[in-house]
Amino acid sequence: MFGSHEVPTELRRRLAIASAAVSVTILLLVLRMWSLQILQGEELSILSENNRIRLRRIAATRGRVVDRHGRVLVESEASYDAVLVPEDAIDLENTVETLAHFLRQSAAETSAVLERAAGRPRFQEIVVKRDLEWEEVVAIETHQTELPGVSVNVTPKRYYPEGETLAHVLGYVGEVTREDVENSDYYRSGDLIGKSGLEEVFDEQLRGINGGRHVEVDALGRELRVLDKVEASAGQTLVLSVDLDLQRAAEDALGDRVGAVVALDPNNGDVLAMVSRPSFDPNLFNGGIRKSDWKDLIEHPRKPMTQRAYRGQYPPGSTFKFIVAAAALQEGVINPFTGIHCGGSYRMGKRDFRCWRAGGHGRMNVVQALAQSCDVFFYQIGQKLGVDVVARYARSFGLGAPTGIAIGNEKGGVIPDRAWKLENMKEPWYPGETLPVAIGQGYVTATPLQMAHAVAGLAVGRLYRPRLVLSTEDVEGKAITSLPAELVGGLEIKPAVLEEVRQGMVQVVNHPGGTGRSAALEGVVVAGKTGTSQVVALGRKRIKAQDLPWQHRDHAWFVAFAPAEAPEVALAVLLEHADGGGGKVAAPVAGAVMNEYFRLKQSRGAVVSHVQD
Amino acid sequence: MFRIDRRLIANVEWPLLIVTVLLVACGLMTILSATYQESQPFSSFFIKQAIWAGAGFAGLMLAMFFDYRLLHRYGYVVYLAAVFSLLLVHVAGTQAGGAQRWLGLGPVSLQPSEFMKIALVVVLATNLHRWAGGARLGLGRLIAPIVLFAPPAFFILRQPDLGTVILLGLVVFSVLLVAGLSLRVVLIAALVVGPALPFAWQQMKPYQQARVTSFLNPQADPLGAGYHVLQSKIAIGSGMLHGKGYLQGTQNSLHFLPEQHTDFVFSVFAEEWGFIGAVMLLALYAALILRGLVIATKAKDNLGALLAAGLTATVFWQVLINIAMTSGSLPVVGITLPFLSYGGSSLLALLTSIGLVMNVSMRRHTY
C-alpha cells in the first residue's frame, strides 16, 4: 500500500494541537515586540540615545576582626570617595584637571586617572581619590556644575584602632591589581582587596557581597531616580585566638627592640600573641599609601614590613638543644645518669669546638647540661646521633617545614641532613658539620613561630597546628564557621624522656646555675631554654655585643612554657642582634609576657567568680 | 541502504531548506554586525561562523541521505555515543568562562551537549515509536524516557549548564506529549504553569529576580545580569518600527550589550531591523517550526513522526526562551538563539537536525 498516512490519527491530532500552540506562542512573541518596539519604543529610544542608565555599586562593608574576647582589631568606617563617570564628563581632560585642582592632586596623579579611564567602558565609574577631607567633599558638591560626571560616593574604608598592634598578622588592604581583576568574578578595577596577613588569607570571608542600584542620571551624571536596587551584605567577622591584652604586654616587653614574640596555647595551638617589631600602621594603606610613607617603610634600616614572627628565619642556637636532648635519650645514646666532661672545648679532627664557657662545665648529666647550656655535652651527643637522626627529631617537632598556620607566605626554616646538603649544595656532609647543628647553629634555621610550636609540643607531648582564627560570625554575631583545633600528631617520644627534658628546662629557670633565671615567676614554675645564636663567626675572639656593629651582633632567644606541671602557655622570644645573650635579654621578655598571662587569668577568673556571686 | 534514487531527489524538502538557508544568512549577517569594528569589518567570530555554516550544510546533506529507519537499530548507539562524549567533557573537557563544556579536537573544539539534543530526540523516538498514537502512555512507559534523560542531565548540570538541561527536559516533555501523554493532565499543567511563569517573574522584586537568576546561573553577577537585560530591552525597544539600520545599532556598538554575538544576538538584530525585521524573523522561525510539524504529520511511520516533531520542538523551545529572555520576560538562563547565535557546535547540530527532518520528509512515499 502507498503509505502516506500510516501515522495514527491520534498522533496527527496531537501534532495539529502542537502547531496551534506554536502559532499562538510566536504570536505572543510578536506582541512582546510590539509592546517593546512600538508602545515603549519612544521611551526606550530616549534611554538609548544618551544611555542614561548607570549601574552604581553599593560597596559591601568589609567584615570586622576581633580578638578572642570580642575586642575590635579592624573595622570599617565611612570613606567619601570622588568618583568619575567618563561618559558624563563632557570634556574628560578638562574635568579631570578641574577636579585635580579641588583635590590638590599633582599632574602625575591626574594623568594616572586618565590612564585608568582609557580602555574601559565609558559608563563605568572610576575612583579618582579615596577618603576625601571634608573640605574636598564640600568643594566637589558646591562646584558640581563645573564637574560634570563627578560625584561623591560613600564607601567603607578600613580602620585599625590599635594601629601598629598586631599589624603584621592583620595585614592591610589595597587597590586590586589587573591580575586580581582577571582572576576573579568579584573584583573590578578600583576595588580594595586584602593584600597581606589575614586581610589577604580571609579576603573571601571578609569582603561580603556587593550590592548595586540602577539609576537614571542627568547630563551631568547626577542621579535623577533609582530604578532598582540590590542591597549589599556585609562581610563576616573574624574571631581571632589572640588576646589583645597579652599582645599589648608582649609588644611592651619588646619595646623598641627588634624581634618577635609568639605565645601559643600548647593544648590547642591557639596563637595568644604574635608580635613582630618594629611594626607599621596599616591605616597608612587605606586608599593607597602615600609614596613618601611607603618609601619610609621600605627603606627603614630595621625593616618594619618584615614579618619576623613567621617569616624571619634565624639559627635557633641553644634553644635547639632540648630537641637534641630528647633525641639522645629516646635513641639510647645517653640515659639520665650519663655524665660527660666539659673542659671548655671539644676536639674533633684538627679543630677545637668551644663551649660558651671558656673554663668548661666539668662533668654533667643531661639535666645539668640543659640548665647550663653546655655546648660540649651537646657536641658529643650530636656526634653520636648523627645529623640524620637529629634532623628526624627536629622535623617531628615541626621544624624544617611551615607549621601551616592560616596566613600567607609562612617560611619553613632549614633542618639540614645529608640528603638536604647533597641536593642544595651538591656536596656530601662533613662530620665536622654535625657539631654546630647539635647546638642549633650551622645550617639550622627556624622561625619564632616554629620554635614556639616546637616547645609547645614538648610541653604537652603533642603538636597542634597554630590557629589564629577561631571562628567567623555574621554581622549579628551568629557563628558561620568555626575552625576546630587541629592535632598535627603526637610526638613519638617516651613520656619519661619528655619529662627528663622538661626537668632540664625547669632547671634552666629555677636552678641557681641555670642560664634563664630572669624568666622565673612567683608562684608558677616556668620551664625554658635560652639561646644565643651567632650571626658571624668570630673565630677565637670573644667580643662583647656592645662593641660589635648592630648587624653582627648575636640573636638572643628564649623558649618557655608554664606552668611546668600543667602547661597553659608556650612561647618563643627572639631579639634580633641583641645587646646580650638569651638569658640576659630574651628571658626577661618571656618572664614579663608569662607574668601578664597569669595576672590576666587571675583577674578574669576574679571577674567571673564575682559575677557568679 | 544509502540508495539515492530519483524519487528521493524529486522529494527534496525545499521549503524547509530555503527557510533554513535564510535563517543561517540572517545569523551570519547579525554576527558580522555584532562584532563589527571599522578597523576589522570581518571579525574572527564571523569568519569562524561562516566556516561552521559550511560544515553544517555538509552535515545536513549527510543526515539527509541515509535512511532514517536505520535508527530502529542504531538509535541507542547514537545515544550512548553522545553520553560518552559528555563523559569525556567531564573528565577531559576544556574550560571557558567558568564552565567545562568543550572537547578540544585539534584546532576545533566541540560542545557535545549540542549534539546531545539530537541524540536524545533520536533515542526517545526509537524508544516510543511502537506505542505512539496508540493507547495513552501509562506511567510504566514513562520510566524509560526518564532513565534516558537522567545521564545527560547529570553531566550537563555538572558543566554547569542549567539552561541546556532545562531545554532537554522540555524536549522530553514535548516528545512525550506528542507520543501520547494524557492530554488533559498536560493541558491543565501547561495552562496553569505556562502563563504564570513570566507573569510571576514580572511580579517579583528585583532582588528576588536576582536570586532566581543566580540560582539558575550562578556564574552571572546578578546585578550585572539585570543591567544586561535592561540594556537589551533598551536595544530592542529603540529599534522601533523600522530599526536603526544595518551596522547602525548604538547599544551594540557602544558595548552596552553583553554577549552580543551569543545569548543577546537577537537584541542586536531587533535594534537594527526594528519591529518589521523582528516580525519577519519570527515569521521565518514560525515557518520552520510549523513546516517541521507538517512533516511529522505526513511522516511514513511513527519513528519519523516523533523524530521530526522532537527536533522541531528543540528549535521551538530555544527560540521561545531566548527571545523571551532577551526581551526581559524570562530570567537569563543562557540559551542561544538557533541559527543566529554564534557557536559552531550549535550551528552544526542544528543543520544536522534539519537534515534529519528533511530525511523523514523525503522518505514519506518510499517503502
The predicted-structure confidence for A70-105, as pLDDT tens digits, reads as follows 999 999 888 888 888 887 777 888 888 888 888 888
Which residues of B are less than 8 Å from A29 in CB distance?
282, 320, 323-324, 327
Please give, rounded to a whole number of angstroms, the shortest distance from the CA of B130 to a CA of chain A: 11
**Distance from C-alpha of A594 to C-alpha of A562, rounded to nearest angstrom:** 8
Instruction: Write the single-letter amino acid at A245.
Output: D
Longest dimension (CA), chain B: 63
pLDDT for the residue A611: 44
| Contact status, residue A599 vs residue A605, Cβ threshold 8 Å | no
Which of B224, B230, B241 lies closest to A37 in CB terms? B241
Which residues of A are less than 8 Å from B241 in CB distance?
37-38, 41
Long-range contacts: B187-190, Cβ < 8 Å, 24+? none
pLDDT for the residue A1: 35
Query: pLDDT band for position A3 (50/70/90)?
Result: very low
Catalytic residue among A196, A318, A373, A396: A318
B290·A22 Cβ contact <8 A: yes
A44·B234 Cβ contact <8 A: yes
Q: Region of A58 please: left (phi>0), alpha (psi -120 to 50) or beta.
A: beta
Please give, rounded to a whole number of angstroms, the shortest distance from the CA of A229 to a CA of chain B: 7
Residue B97 has pLDDT above 90, yes or no: no
pLDDT for the residue A536: 67
Residue of A26, A57, A58 to mutate when probing chain B, most B C-beta within 10 A: A26
Pick the closest to residue B249 from B239, B237, B259, B263 (CA basis): B239
Which residues of A are less than 8 Å from B367 in CB distance?
3
Per residue in B129-175, pLDDT tens?
Answer: 887 777 666 666 778 888 999 999 989 888 778 788 889 999 998 99
B301·A55 Cβ contact <8 A: no
Length, in residues, of chain B: 367
Which of B240, B294, B367 lies closest to A45 in CB terms? B240
**Stretch A354-365: mean pLDDT, rounded?**
87
Following CA atoms A150, A154, A155, A158 in sequence, which dihedral angle do they give, to the nearest 10 degrees? 120
Residue B275 has pLDDT above 50, yes or no: yes
> What is the Cα B33 distance to its own chain's centre?
22
Which residues of A are less than 8 Å from B223 in CB distance?
55, 210-212, 230
Which of B134, B294, B364 lies closest to A4 in CB terms? B364
Which of B183, B251, B299 lies closest to A7 in CB terms? B299
> Cell triple for residue A38?
512600538
Which residues of B are less than 8 Å from A230 in CB distance?
206-207, 210, 222-223, 226
**Distance from C-alpha of A148 to C-alpha of A384, rounded to nearest angstrom:** 81
Q: In chain A, which residue's Cα lies nearest the Cα of B295?
A: A15
Q: In chain A, which residue's Cα lies nearest the Cα of B285?
A: A26
A3·B221 Cβ contact <8 A: no
Residue A501 has pLDDT above 50, yes or no: yes
Which of B250, B293, B298 lies closest to A18 in CB terms? B293
Which residues of B are less than 8 Å from A19 in CB distance?
290, 293-294
Which residues of A are less than 8 Å from B364 in CB distance?
4
Query: pLDDT band for position A313 (50/70/90)?
Result: very high
Query: pLDDT band for position A469 (50/70/90)?
Result: very high
Q: How many helices (H) and strands (E) in chain B?
A: 14, 3
Assign 3-state DSSP to chain A and report helix, strand, coil percentages, each to 5. 40, 20, 35
Which residues of B are less than 8 Å from A38 in CB distance?
240-241, 275
Which residues of A are less than 8 Å from B324 in CB distance?
29, 32
pLDDT for the residue B212: 65
A8·B302 Cβ contact <8 A: yes
Please give, rounded to a whole number of angstroms, the shortest distance from the CA of A223 to a CA of chain B: 16
- Residue A565 CB: number of other CB atoms within 10 A? 10
Q: In chain B, which residue's Cα lies nearest the Cα of A57?
A: B223
Q: Which residue intervals of A85-232 are DSSP H helices? A: 92-103, 107-117, 134-142, 167-170, 178-182, 197-201, 203-207
A55·B227 Cβ contact <8 A: yes
Residue of A19, A28, A48 to mutate when probing chain B, most B C-beta within 10 A: A48
DSSP A480-505: EEE----EEEE--S-HHHHHHHHHHH
Q: In chain A, which residue's Cα lies nearest the Cα of B306?
A: A11
Which residues of A are less than 8 Å from B201 in CB distance?
none
First to last CA, chain A: 104
Please give, rounded to a whole number of angstroms, the shortest distance from the CA of A545 to a CA of chain B: 59
pLDDT for the residue B143: 81
Choose from A4-8, A85-89, A219-223, B251-255 the range with maximum mean pLDDT.
A85-89
**Distance from C-alpha of B263 to C-alpha of B335, rounded to nearest angstrom:** 6
B251·A48 Cβ contact <8 A: yes
Residue B251 has pLDDT above 70, yes or no: no
Residue A2 has pLDDT above 50, yes or no: no
Q: Is the pTM of this model over 0.80?
A: no
**Stretch A449-467: mean pLDDT, rounded?**
95
> Cell triple for residue A469?
582564627
**ipTM tops 0.90:** no
Query: pLDDT band for position A301 (50/70/90)?
Result: confident
Which residues of A are less than 8 Å from B231 in CB distance?
51, 53
> What is the Cα B299 distance to its own chain's centre?
22
Please give, rounded to a whole number of angstroms, the shortest distance from the CA of A115 to a CA of chain B: 20
Helix (H) or strand (E) holding A120: none
Instruction: Write the single-letter amino acid at B18.
Output: I
Query: pLDDT band for position A264 (50/70/90)?
Result: very high
- Could you tell me which residues come within 8 angstroms of residue A96 by beta carbon, excluding any fewer than 6 positions away? A84, A89, A110, A113, A114, A117, A128
Which of B178, B256, B329 lies closest to A14 in CB terms? B178
Q: Region of A534 please: left (phi>0), alpha (psi -120 to 50) or beta.
A: beta
A11·B364 Cβ contact <8 A: no
Which of A51, A53, A210 lies closest to B254 in CB terms? A51
Instruction: Write the single-letter amino acid at A309.
Output: A
> Cell triple for residue A527?
620551664
> Cell triple for residue B178?
506528542
Helix (H) or strand (E) holding B264: none
Q: In chain A, which residue's Cα lies nearest the Cα of B360?
A: A4
A55·B254 Cβ contact <8 A: no
A33·B207 Cβ contact <8 A: no
- Residue B160 CB: number of other CB atoms within 10 A? 16
**Stretch A293-311: mean pLDDT, rounded?**
86
**Distance from C-alpha of A340 to C-alpha of A497, rounded to nearest angstrom:** 18
* β-bridge pairing A237-240 and A65-66: parallel
Residue of A23, A44, A231 to mutate when probing chain B, most B C-beta within 10 A: A44
Query: pLDDT band for position A609 (50/70/90)?
Result: very low
Please give, rounded to a whole number of angstroms, the shortest distance from the CA of B241 to a CA of chain A: 6
> Cell triple for residue B88?
569525556
Per residue in A399-414, pLDDT tens?
Answer: 999 999 988 789 999 9
| A35 is annotated as an active-site residue | no
Residue A446 has pLDDT above 50, yes or no: yes
B177·A121 Cβ contact <8 A: no
A vs B: CB pairs below 8 A: 171
First to last CA, chain B: 12
Find cell 608562684 and name the residue: A523
Pick the closest to residue B229 from B109, B334, B121 (CA basis): B334
